Structure 1
Amino acid sequence: MPPLSNSRSIRPATRWLAGPALAMLILGGCGGLSTRSTDTAKVVMSPVVAQASALARSGTVLTGQARLDNERQIRDLLSQLDDAALAREAAALPAGEPLYNYMGQALLERGLPLPRPFDHTAWTFDANGRPAADPDGYRPPVKLAMLLPLSGEMAVAASPVRDGFLAGYYGEHRRRPEVSFYDTTGSIAGTLSAYDRAVAEGNDFVVGPLERNAVDALFTRGALPVSILALNSGSQPPPAGNAAFALSPEDEGAAAAEYLLERGAKRVMVVSGSEESQRRAVDALREHLASRGATVTDVVGEGVADLTPFASREGGIDAVFLAMRGNSVRELMPKLALAGLAGKPRVATSQLLSGTGKPEDDRVLDGIAFPTETWTARGARGLPTAAFTAETLPTARGGAARLFAFGFDAWQLSAYMERLVTGTDASIPGATGTLRMDGFGNIKRTPTWATFISGVVMPLTDGSDRR
């Protein structure tokens, strides 16, 4: 892979590729989009919805922890509505009602369609005379800037993201934007400077940055002259007209909660390690379960010798969530069996794959469900198989495959952003999962689910990643 300068452009008419190996990955275009809609009768706002509406209106001026607490109260109120009531009340809200985006988010989390698109009034897509969208919604920018740490400590993580993006870019045979790469150097100052240069040089869309603190630095500027698809989530929602896409522990925790709820689990015992990402996944699981009337009975450390007292809680245990690495889960399995929990549904984070790879050792993990990327589990439209790509590109091997898929999806999002913003429950079948945008600019990912069978990772075939 040749090094990239601070601002290197790629024009569709050129033959430049990021190394000969990447040329082998050029295939047919990106996947299409699916939409769903429903007609729901309007009704008078109920007392619960009226209270949530008042909170949503007051929340528009809140920041920091006060905003988070306000949003939690709204979610708690909406959790009191059953599916039919939630859909009916959402359809009855007038355009511009601040509560609608919250209700829409709750609908998506339950796998229900939106009655109308989210309120995304700040988005514009006509900069630089962008041509009209194709019938499938494909409408890429004219000039696109990609902000990545091409030098410094984060450059290693940036490489698979860059190569996945380029694989999608060169695999598309329709009109493509001119792409320029800007080196953020892995610093806040470098990121702000790179963004300002991208704006000054006429780019009409920006993908990046990759670092969480750099995303925060840009988002705290408020209104931005050129829209951003940030490749991480910040500590606050994206400003209006911008979006954030991340492979976050919170998304895995929420996805695991939804997976368990769909299977009737109401009381979930958690066994977790002490890493920050593991704690974040557990917190998201707990919050999502609570919003749907379920509960985490206990959070047990992975080093606990005896799980029997926790398994014997009054009310019983319906399922077990494991926020641990695979080698630690292997050691835990005898303890689960002794506590009578081996037959309960068991769900883990994607960290279950860490420390695995030998079928003879991994047989004890058989039956544990965990979220993974669609591409590595069953393939993705627009990309060759993960195995073939790994043979061709070093940046798609091992753990880097996840970031490669992430980069590929960043390209798809940049090309189909208008459809996601303006469509009713529009989605992209991405390499990392099914992608949608909520009402606050966050790209929501429904992952593919996999499990171990005879010690070998196999995709689950229940279609849970396609709803």
Structure 2
Amino acid sequence: MNRSKNRPAFTWMFCALAATALLGGCASVETRPVATVAASNPIVAQAQHLAKNHAALSGAERSENEQQIERLLAQLDDATLSREASALIEGDPLYNFAGRALMKRGLPLPRPFDRTSDWSFHAAQRPPAEADGYRPPMKLAVLLPSTGPAAVAAASVRDGLLAAYYGESRRRPEVHFYDTAGTPAGALSAYDKAAAEGNDFVIGPLGRDEVSALFGKGALPVPVLALNRGNTTPPSGNVSFSLTPEDEGTAAADYLAERKAKRVLAIAGDDDSQRRAVAALKQRLAARGAVVTDTVGEGTADLGPFVAKEGGVDAVFLAVKGSVGRTLVPKLALVGLADKPRAATSQLLLGTGKPEQDRVLDGIAFPSESWISGGIRGLPPAVGTAQQLPTARGPAARLFAFGYDAWQLSAYLERLAGRSDAYVAGATGVLRIDGFGNVLRTPAWSTFSSGVAVPLADASRR
């Protein structure tokens, strides 16, 4: 486990608040020989052919090619996927896809991902790593908006990062904050300034458009841990970390697929995050051989016609707030879905807090942050932290945990990229890096019990 040791429990709170005063101011395609040995399994051979041409694609064509590979690999059972991944020689472009599929199923990698030398994150310039892999940057730049509409959300990320930073008793880098103003132009300017001022690693930017603009530059002189997913794959040697609705939809699909769900009814509101969660759910279920039978609005009066269709429904996904969920549960019971697996997004927590009303939500699983649901070593409990820091209160607690993990990742990236068994037990969940520079998060899972949100044991494999 990669976790910092001997963290003072509350020292960081004062430091995080005091440090506020310090605040101021197209992906390149790597070409290399493609090494393959034709697979005997026809499904793997087809995926191998698609992977061989993947690096030459871009845009929608590249995304569709990636989805086709995922759908093919999803047809393999665990034992076959593990065996076929082990048989792929070093340099086979399918290996990173197969390895990611293994990671998402909670299965071990046969070897580390195939990476080039730029995945060292300039670590050779730093002092040797600690025994647990801790090897933080020498001079760290953090790109966050301190002005503009996103400044409030960024403050929670900032304070979570500072909580981890000041809670670390070992060597720490200089930290410099740069205001992106929440715009692509601001992010590009902040990055260029950070690079010119000698920072050897960058955390940020935060906005999706900002990340897209930065990754669109191609090769970057200073490696980046972006705090969102852009519209392009991170350039080689850079990493993307996010808490997006897509991640929750994907996590819910995996949760339901582990419970043998093949036909899932999705019920959602009409805001953007809810629609994005459902879209990701559909994509991941399709890759795992399942299907969303229908997506119905949260205000649908009668769910009977959707359940009565041929094949029926064997699980339910709810992309709704808790206040809406309370009205939906009786409707699910009326059509025989009360005892089926039910998963939701973390929005299920919104509008809750009164156990006598929330009992109706008992048994619905939703992704949560390890720190919020059960606590983690080195960080005081979420309830106590919220009492002292407004930026860790209510919905902002997720962003606080996100910032905490951004620091953790910056200190352990070299180990995460270089070892097949490496992970960080973070505040938002168990964190790993796939072969394409994306942080894969296995969230904690929670449910309601007697109207109170509690950790859900053994909800997912790790």
Deviation of 1:94 after TM superposition, in Å, equals: 1.6
- CA drift at 1:18: 7.7
2:356 to 354, 360, 370: 360
- Given residue 398 of structure 1, which amino acid in structure 2 is its aligned partner? G
1:268-417 matched pairs, under 5 angstroms: 268-417=264-413
Tell me, yes or no, if the aligned pair for 1:149 and 1:158 is still in contact at 8 Å: yes
**What RMSD in Å do the two structures reach over aligned CA positions?**
1.9
How far 1:120 sits from its partner (Å)? 2.3
Name 1:64's counterpart in structure 2: 59
* 2:220 aligned with 1:201: no
Amino acid at match of 1:108: M
Matched ranges for 1:224-263 at <5 A? 224-263=220-259
Structure 2: state its 5+ residue gaps: 1-10, 19-36
Contact kept, 8 Å, 1:359 with 1:456, in 2: the verdict is: yes
TM-score by length of 2: 0.90
Whether the 8 Å CA contact 1:127–1:204 is kept in 2: the answer is: no
* Distance in 1 between residues matched to 2:176 and 2:38, nearest whole Å: 50
Instruction: Determine if the alignment matches structure 1 residue 77 to structure 2 residue 75.
Output: no
Residues 15 and 166, structure 2, Cα contact 8 Å, conserved in 1: no
1:94 corresponding residue in structure 2: 89
* Structure 1 residue 437 corresponds to structure 2 residue 421: no
1:454 equivalenced with 2:450 (yes/no): yes
Do the aligned residues in 2 keep the contact of 1:22 with 1:167 (CA within 8 Å)?
no
1:161 to 157, 162, 167: 157
Report if the CA contact (8 A) 1:348-1:370 is conserved. Answer: yes
Distance 1:461 1:52 in 2: 35
- Corresponding letter in the other structure for 1:380: I
Q: Deviations over 1:130-159 (max 9, x none)?
A: 011111110101111000001122111111
**1:124 Cα deviation (Å)?**
2.5
Cα distance change of structure 1 residues 118 and 50 upon mapping to structure 2, 3 Å threshold: same
Which residue identity is paired with 1:424? Answer: S
Residues 1:53 and 2:48 are matched in the alignment: yes
Identity, in percent, stands at 65
Q: How far apart in 2 are the matches of 1:286 and 1:63?
A: 22
Distance 2:124 2:13 in 1: 27
SS in structure 2 of the partner of residue 179 of structure 1:
strand
Q: 1:371, 1:447 within 8 Å by CA — same for their partners in 2?
A: yes
- 2:104 equivalent to 1:109: yes
TM superposition shift of 1:285: 1.2
Describe the SS at the equivalent of 2:225: strand
Write out per-residue CA displacement over residues 230-269 of structure 1, whole angstroms, 9 at most, x where no aligned residue: 0011111111110010001111111111111112222111
CA contact (8 A) 1:45 1:89 kept: no
User: Unaligned regions of 5+ residues in structure 1, if any?
Assistant: 1-15, 24-41
3-state SS of the aligned residue for 1:351? helix
Does the 8 A contact of 2:12 with 2:167 survive in 1?
no
Task: Provide closer, same or farther for how the CA distance between residues 71 and 274 of structure 1 changes in structure 2, counting only shifts above 3 A.
Answer: same
Task: Check 1:463–1:264 CA distance in 2 against 1; reply closer, same or farther (3 A cut).
Answer: closer
Partner of 2:143: 147
Quote the offset at 1:127 in angstroms.
5.3
Q: How does 1:183-222 map to 2 (within 5 A)?
A: 183-222=179-218
Cross-structure match for 2:115: 120
Cα offset, 1:289, TM superposition: 1.4
Q: How many residues align?
A: 434
Write out per-residue CA displacement over residues 431-453 of structure 1, whole angstroms, 9 at most, x where no aligned residue.
00111111111101111111111
Question: Does structure 2 conserve the Cα–Cα contact (< 8 Å) formed by 1:48 and 1:78?
Answer: yes
Following superposition, the deviation at residue 316 of structure 1 comes to 2.3
Distance 1:256 1:99 in 2: 25
Q: Which runs of 4+ in 1 moved over 3 A?
A: 16-23, 42-45, 125-128
